[in-house]
A and B are shown apart, each in its own frame.
Chain A
Amino acid sequence: MAEATHDIEIRNLYKIFGPDGAALVDKVKAGMSKEEVKARHNHVVGLNDINLTIPAGRIQVVMGLSGSGKSTLIRHINRLIEPTSGEVMFDGQDIVQMSQSQLRDFRRQKTAMVFQKFALFPHRTVLENTTYGLDIRKVSRREAEERARRWISRVGLDGFEDSYPNQLSGGMQQRVGLARALTNDAEILLMDEAFSALDPLIRTDMQSVLLDLQEELRKTIVFITHDLDEALNLGDRIAILRDGEIIQQGTGEQIVLRPADDYISSFVRDVRRGHVITVRTIMRKGERAETPVSLPHDTLLEDAARAMTGVQTNAANVTGPDGKHVGTITLAKTVAEMIAPDDTEELSPEVSAA
């Protein structure tokens, strides 16, 4: 199994759509706005100075509204879109500089992609769709089918090997999309709004499937979404995109606690805070309480509140990564933080925005 070992490093990436994009990069670098570029030059700024390190073996979510440049960004990682300027480094190589044949090999061996509208091959059965990545690498029929069947089974499609995509529901089709990508056994998994077209229930279902798989696969997953709940549920790290620029990046907790601007605040206002914030963030350092409850530092507030009310106590001790005591929380503070931001006290420094 290809466990991910290399970060993806995106440096100073610009994409300006239009016939003369290259000539406009300097103007955009000098601060010309997206609107101005559109009005004066009739070009579209897709990405504006993107710098992002996508950690190996983690789920990096890229979130933003429609038209913010998410699809454009993810397509630079396998260079389905050519950048106007910038670098995308992986394992010491700049993907932007690769020759066509190097790029093909990179796509075949290092990446796999799942698409919003599934993009399955309608003339191929589930099995034939799933073997596609191996077919074009000329892996033998027998080996390809054996590997494909394993993943078809893992995503819960046993018995549908010989069905055609159009005979399946949307949720099942995207399972095929996932199986097709996983069969490639690549380090990098690119998912462009992979679950956005699915019904809410099926969507959370697929999120669990993905998290379960990731538990054992440890791939580098780039997951695009416009949905904050999905981002918080899946993302080890989240980058927020607006008008082609990254306006904040960090963990979900960091973004919920410290939204970088009003735009992001409006996004995170309705979030289930107790489901995102951990006790580490709100604890009083060093203090110790008389209570039977002791919680690990990464316990979510909801779980902490449940633990305290469960034994009818008003406080809990918090232990660090090594199991040693690090501080305390109170039930009142926990509930207050779950309901609304409490700005009266300083938050611990490790959650300040990245």
Chain B
Amino acid sequence: MAIDGGFREFTRAYGETLENLFHPIQILLVFIEDLLIDSPWIIVMAGLALLVWLLSRSWKVVAGSIISLMLIGYFGMWDDTMSTIAMVAVCTLIAVVLGIPIGIVMARSDRANAIITPILDMMQTMPSFVYLIPVVMIFGLGKVPGVIAVVIYAIPPIIRLTNLGIRQVPADVLEAAEAFGSSGGQKLRDVQLPLALPTIMAGVNQTIMMSLAMVVVASMIGVKGLGQPVLQAINNQYFTLGVMNGLAIVAIAIIFDRSTQAYGKRLQKHLEAVHG
């Protein structure tokens, strides 16, 4: 078809430039992946446990994480799990770095809001592997196209919830900031973002969960990690392999979820009403 042809031409003309543009992502991803896989497992485990503690401040969640990671190691899924965690970390980071500013723009301009909202709606109704097609056509197989596909898939919630969080800031509080002579930037930094932060964190949480789901799908285009054994299991009907890796994915999903949710809750501590 004509569109397909056009697409191929575009890829031929710009593919290399684009690949160079996205090369830093590859470097970052490989660096984190190597760090997690090559360091002694006990140090990695301690580091992850510390991170979970800092986020959740809950011994239960920390203990659960350690036990899960031990089991993952025991059943020989350590390296794949680390690849997946590295991938989710990088994708989430990119989604947050891109998504928060877009959310801010949407919150400040009703026009931007009207333009971007339908795009997000469309992105969220599209089946996840549809994203893989154009990405593969441009970038081929590999890590970077994987990251791009995952980020595109996982970015809507962080954008939406940043927008929502800022728009939910009470008008009277904003008026007070205005009355004291705040500039637009000061209002954003000192009032809107801090008050939107719990909502933004809920967006980060959703983005992490969606990254994780998509990382598994992206194993189809050569992303390493827990998705690959699952894919292999499907193709060859290895039941145990599928279940084991599936459980590992569930385990780290729960760890991510509990940690970020607990962190989001702690951010709202000061909002708990003591007086009515």
- Residue contact B176 to A136, C-beta cutoff 8 Å: no
Chain B contacts of A105 at CB under 8 A? 181
- Residue contact A122 to B271, C-beta cutoff 8 Å: yes
**A169–B175 Cα gap in the complex (Å)?**
22
B62 CB → nearest A CB, Å: 27
A117 at the binding interface (Cβ < 8 Å): yes
B270 at the binding interface (Cβ < 8 Å): yes
Q: Chain A, interface size: which category?
A: 20 to 34
* 8 A Cβ contacts from B221-276 to A: 270-275
Q: How many residues on B have C-beta within 8 angstroms of the other chain's C-beta atoms?
A: 23
B182 at the binding interface (Cβ < 8 Å): yes
Closest to B197 in A: A123
Chain A contacts of B216 at CB under 8 A? none
Chain A contacts of B191 at CB under 8 A? 121
B182 CB → nearest A CB, Å: 5
Chain A contacts of B270 at CB under 8 A? 122-123, 164, 166
- Residue contact A123 to B194, C-beta cutoff 8 Å: yes
A115 at the binding interface (Cβ < 8 Å): yes
B178 at the binding interface (Cβ < 8 Å): yes
**A187–B199 Cα gap in the complex (Å)?**
39
- Residue contact A121 to B173, C-beta cutoff 8 Å: yes
* 8 A Cβ contacts from A117-133 to B: 117, 119-123, 132-133
**A120–B180 Cα gap in the complex (Å)?**
12
**With A115-B176, A122-B195 as contacts: A166 and B272 at CB distance below 8 Å:** yes
**With A136-B190, A166-B273 as contacts: A119 and B180 at CB distance below 8 Å:** no
- Residue contact A168 to B275, C-beta cutoff 8 Å: yes
Chain B contacts of A168 at CB under 8 A? 275
Closest to A138 in B: B186
A176 CB → nearest B CB, Å: 11
- Residue contact A104 to B183, C-beta cutoff 8 Å: yes
Chain A contacts of B273 at CB under 8 A? 166
B68 CB → nearest A CB, Å: 34
| CB 8 Å contact bits of A69-104 with B (1 = contact, 0 = none) | 000000000101000000000000000000000001
B4 at the binding interface (Cβ < 8 Å): no
B42 at the binding interface (Cβ < 8 Å): no
Closest to B269 in A: A164
**A169–B275 Cα gap in the complex (Å)?**
6
Across the A-B interface, give the 6 residue pairs with the lowest CB-CB distance, nearest first.
A108-B181, A107-B181, A119-B176, A164-B270, A119-B172, A113-B179
Task: Identify 13 residue pairs between A and B in the complex whose beta-carbon atoms are under 8 Å apart, listed by A's number.
Answer: A80-B179, A104-B181, A107-B179, A108-B180, A119-B173, A119-B175, A121-B191, A123-B270, A132-B177, A136-B180, A136-B190, A170-B275, A190-B179
Q: Which residues of A contact B (CB under 8 A)?
A: 78, 80, 104-109, 111-113, 115, 117, 119-123, 132-133, 135-137, 164, 166-170, 184, 190
Other 5 A-B pairs with CB < 8 A, given A112-B180, A123-B194, A166-B272: A113-B180, A122-B173, A122-B270, A133-B180, A184-B180
